[in-house]
Structure 1
C-alpha cells in the first residue's frame, strides 16, 4: 500500500476557538474509544459543545485530551510517518522518488523545485500550528482547572509544553524566523508576527526546561509513549546543539545517556517496541498495526512504487558496517539487471497478530552523537572519540581514526548519516546547521540554490496575515 500526501487546498491554521474545541472533543471521544478496555463503552454524544472547563474537570478527560495530541501528531504533519522523514529525505541525498511522471508534490523535493504554493509546505505548516494550538489550549485549561490535582496538572502541562517546544524546534529549522505561538485567542493568532530564530530558540529552551521541572522521572504509560523527564532532556540536548551551546548540549545528552546506559547491542532490535535504546515513540492506533514508516519505505518488487534509498546513501556505508545489512534491504527486478534499496529499520509493512514496532521519535544513539559533537567543540578529543566509537562498535566497525576537530566533525556527520537516515529529517538539519548543504547537494541537485536552506512560507498564510512577510528569500 502506497501512502501519499493528501491533495488538499492549503488552509489557515488559526480557526476560531469554538471550532478547535469541537475538533478536540471529537478526538477525545475517538481516542477514548480506541484505547478503551475490551468492554464496549457507549459514549453519549453531547447535545451542545462541551466547554474546555468541562473537559478538564477530572484527570480522565484531561488525559484523553493530551493523548489526542499524539493521535494528531502520529496521523499528520511534521513527525508523522509520512512527514519530513520523506520530504526532507528527498530534499537531501537519502531518497529517490520513482513517480516523477505522476506530478506529485514530492517530485518538487527531489528536484529542488519547491514553491510557496507547495501542498506539502502548507500541510507541514498548518498541521504543526494546529497541533500547537491544541497544546496551548491544554496548558490554559489545565492551569485554570479546579478539579485536577497538582500532580496531574504538572503531568499534562509538562507534556503540552514539551510538544509545543518540539514542534517549534522543527518549524524554526525548516522555515527560519517563525511565530512562536503561545496564545489560544484566535484574534491574536490571526495577526502573529515572525520572531527571529535566536529568540525562537530561547523560547524553545525555556519551555523545555519548564517541562523538565514538571514531568515525572518515569513514563506513566510503561511503553515510552508519553513524555517524561528524559524525553524533554533529549530534545533539550538537540536544541542546545542547534544553538551552539556546546557545554549545555553535552550536559543534557550526558544526563540521558546516564539514565539509559549502553546502546541496544542487536541492530535488528533497535526499532522493536521494547528496544532498550528508545526514549520516546508513537503507539499505533490499534493493536496489530505497526508503523506508517514501514508501509512507506518497504517494497517487495521493483521498480519501487514510490520512494527508495539513494545509491549515494547505500554507497556511503563502510563495507563491514552491519547497519547496511541490518537496516537496508535490496530488491531486484525479475531479470536481476537492476537493484533498488529500501530502508529496513522497521521490518513490518502491515498488520501482525500484535503490534511489534512503534514509530520511534527519539533514541539513544542520537544522544551519543550529540555528546560527541559537543565534546569535539569543547576540545575533549578523547571524549568525542569514545562516543563515536560507541556508535561505530555497535555497528561492527573499528574505532575512529579522527583526531583533529575537522576530522571529528566529519566523522560525526558520517555517523549521523548512516545511523539516523530516514528519521525525522536529521540528514537535512545536519547538512544545514554544519554548513554542508551547498557542498553536498549542489553537485547532485541541478536546481540547487543557496536560498534553499529554508523552505518557503505558505502563500495563503502570507495573504491572510501580512505580518508574516517578508517571504523567505528566493521564493
Structure 2
C-alpha cells in the first residue's frame, strides 16, 4: 500500500545518519557519521534522515526509549505505578543521587537529541543545495524537537544548560539556566517553528505530504506551545493556542479503543516502529508495559485505580488485569494492547487532542471562565461514559481538572509527575504517598539530581539542592 511505503521511507532513511550518542552530552566532540555532514545536507532525503533519526530512536527502534523510561520512572516515583521487583525499588522509595542511583538516560538522551537537532539547524543553514521549502521545514522541525526535549529537561531537573550549538568547547562550559529563562527561549523557538513548518504532515523525503502523523506539523507546534504557555502561566495564550488545535478539523476525540491506533483522529504527533528491522514490537509501550507473566517491573498503583469513578470506561478500556495466583492480581496500563506485531496497527502517541481540551479547561479556570472550563472537562468525561461536570466554584473546577488529567493521561510521558509539580500539589500528595510506600519525602526531591559525571566535566553546572 502507498501508506506503508511512505512510512518505510521515513523510517529507513534515519539509519543513514548517526551521531556518537554513547558519550555524555557535555563531552561530545565533533561527531563522526557514516556520511559527512556536508554530503548529508546536499540532498533533501539525507538531510531529512538526519532529523528523522531522532524520531526513529524515540519510537524504540533501537530496543529502548527514553519516553518509556520517563513513563516508568516517573510513574513509580509518584503515585501511578508500584514496583514489583528490585529494578525500580529506589525510585519507588524516592531515593536518587548523582551517582549509581540516577535515571541518567533522562538526562543524557534528551541532550543527545538536542545536539542532533542543532546539527540539522546548522547544516540546513549552511547548505546551498537544499531549496527554501525543505530548509524551512527541517529548521522548523529541528526547533520543535529541541524545544520538546528542553521542556522535559526543565520539568525533571529545573536548571539546565541551554545548548543551541554543536560547538562542544562552548557546550561543556555552559552554566545552567532557570526554568523560567528556558521557557522564554522555548516560546521564541516554537513561534519561529510555527512560521517555518508546514501545516501538512510531510513524507520521508520532504517533497510531498502523507497521511501518517509521524513528523511534527504546525498543529504539533501549536499543541506544544499551548503546553508551554500553560506552564509559563500565560493562560490567555494557552487558551488561544489550544483552541487553534481543537478547531482544526483533522482532529477529534476518538473512541477509547482507537485513541492509540495508527493515524488516530486524536493523534497530533506519533512516532513509529519500523517493521523493516529486527524489532518486532507493535509499540515500545506495548512491549514493556503489558503484563503477561509474574514478577513484572511495574504495575498500576492501588491509589491510581481508586481514582477512577464508577462507570468510567477508561478503567475497562485502558487497564488490563493479570492474575498470577489466587491472591495475586496485577493491574497494568492497557492503552497499547499489542506487544508484538509485524504490521502497523498501534503507534506511540506523544501529542493528542484530549490534552488540548484539558489545557484549555485549566487556562479558562485560571482566567475565571468557569462555564467554558466545565464544558471542556465534560467532553473528556462524556467520552469516558461519565456525566457532565457542573461547576460551582473555581476551586472545585480546578480539582476536577487535576483528577481528570490523572485518569486521562496515566502512564503517558510523565504527565502525572509533571502535573503534580505544575499544579503545586506535589508535596501534599507525596507526603501521603511516601507514608504508604515506606519512603521519606522532602520538597527538594521534586527535582532530580544531575549526574555527577557531568558536574565533574562542567564546573559551571551546579547540583540541585539536597543532593
3-state DSSP of counterpart to 2:449: coil
* Partner of residue 12, structure 2: none
1:118 and 1:163 map into 2 onto residues whose CA distance is: 29
Query: How many angstroms does 1:304 deviate by?
Result: 3.7
3-state DSSP of counterpart to 1:399: coil
Q: 2:465 aligns with which of 450, 456, 473?
A: 473
3-state DSSP of counterpart to 1:121: coil
Query: How many angstroms does 1:262 deviate by?
Result: 6.6
Native 8 Å contact 1:247 1:374 kept in 2: yes
Native 8 Å contact 2:230 2:238 kept in 1: yes
- Count residues with an aligned counterpart: 431
1:184/1:261 CA distance change after superposition, 3 Å: closer
Native 8 Å contact 1:289 1:354 kept in 2: no
* Partner of residue 171, structure 1: 153
Query: How many angstroms does 1:118 deviate by?
Result: 4.0
Query: How many angstroms does 1:357 deviate by?
Result: 0.8
2:254 and 2:194 map into 1 onto residues whose CA distance is: 29
* Partner of residue 90, structure 1: 76
Q: 2:25 aligns with which of 4, 8, 13?
A: 13
1:265 and 1:363 map into 2 onto residues whose CA distance is: 10
**Unaligned 5+ runs, structure 2:** 1-21, 204-210
2:52 and 2:133 map into 1 onto residues whose CA distance is: 17
3-state DSSP of counterpart to 1:159: helix
Q: 2:99 aligns with which of 117, 127, 139?
A: 117
**Unaligned 5+ runs, structure 1:** 1-9, 26-49
1:250 and 1:411 map into 2 onto residues whose CA distance is: 18
Query: How many angstroms does 1:17 deviate by?
Result: 4.4
Query: How many angstroms does 1:300 deviate by?
Result: 2.1
Q: TM-score, normalised on structure 1?
A: 0.87
1:80 and 1:360 map into 2 onto residues whose CA distance is: 14
* Partner of residue 39, structure 1: none
The answer to whether structure 1 residue 217 and structure 2 residue 199 are counterparts is yes
The answer to whether structure 1 residue 319 and structure 2 residue 310 are counterparts is yes
* Partner of residue 441, structure 2: 448
Q: TM-score, normalised on structure 2?
A: 0.89
Name the stretch that deviates more: 74-83 or 109-118: 74-83
1:234-253 CA-to-partner distances (Å, cap 9, x unmatched) read 00000000011000000010
Name the stretch that deviates more: 284-293 or 186-195: 284-293
Native 8 Å contact 1:81 1:292 kept in 2: no
The answer to whether structure 1 residue 334 and structure 2 residue 319 are counterparts is no
Native 8 Å contact 1:220 1:226 kept in 2: yes
1:259-292 CA-to-partner distances (Å, cap 9, x unmatched) read 1477434211111113110000111022664111
* Partner of residue 424, structure 1: 413
1:289 and 1:67 map into 2 onto residues whose CA distance is: 19
1:199/1:51 CA distance change after superposition, 3 Å: same
1:144/1:394 CA distance change after superposition, 3 Å: same
1:389/1:261 CA distance change after superposition, 3 Å: farther
Q: 1:137 aligns with which of 112, 119, 126?
A: 119
* Partner of residue 190, structure 1: 172
Native 8 Å contact 2:275 2:343 kept in 1: no
